[in-house]
Amino acid sequence: MPSPSGIFETAVRNSSGSGPEGGAPAAPSRAIGNPDPAALAPMPEPVSAAENPVAAAENSERNPLGDSPQAAVGRRILSTAFVRITPGGNLTVELQSGRILVLRDVVLRRKDYCGMQVAESPTRYCGRYAEVAAARPGGN
């Protein structure tokens, strides 16, 4: 059985025309592993995200709820701590006012979050994302 490289070389030799005298231009001879230089695209230069106007449009696509910047930050803080909670675990949330809540059975909803307070008298608490200053898994 002939080698694949021999078939390729034969095909290149047979496909090359007779040159300028025969009317057909000569096909460029390409060796295996050498790409056609015209097929290489130029490397894009790095661009700062602060200078990129597309980043602002993409950012609005990432926030389809139309949250305020403060609510978007609060949602990110709370969701980051939320994914670290073990089943049946607590979530400690510090609000902008300085109040600290320890919640269990937390549910993150579209505009707010809710959970049962772990205190002397357990009550349901629902708050807005814009009120969140810090959050961490665990608590008393």
Average pLDDT of span 77-91: 89
Q: Let me know: does 94 contact 100? Beta carbons within 8 Å.
A: yes
Q: Let me know: does 103 contact 89? Beta carbons within 8 Å.
A: no
DSSP annotation of 15: H
Average pLDDT of span 119-136: 91
CB burial of residue 103 (10 Å; 0-12, 13-18, 19+): buried
Higher pLDDT, 105 or 139: 105
For the chain, what are the domain ranges?
Answer: 66-137
User: Averaging pLDDT over each range in 36-45, 58-67, 112-121, which range is the top one?
Assistant: 112-121
The answer to which of 44-48, 97-101, 119-123 has the lowest mean pLDDT is: 44-48
The structure tokens 């096909």 sit at 27
Q: Tokens at residue 139, please?
A: 């608590």
Sheet (strand 100-108) strand order: 124-128, 112-117, 100-108, 90-95, 132-137
Q: May I ask the CATH class of domain 66-137?
A: mainly beta
Instruction: Report residue 44's pLDDT band, with 50, 70 and 90 as the boundaries.
Output: confident
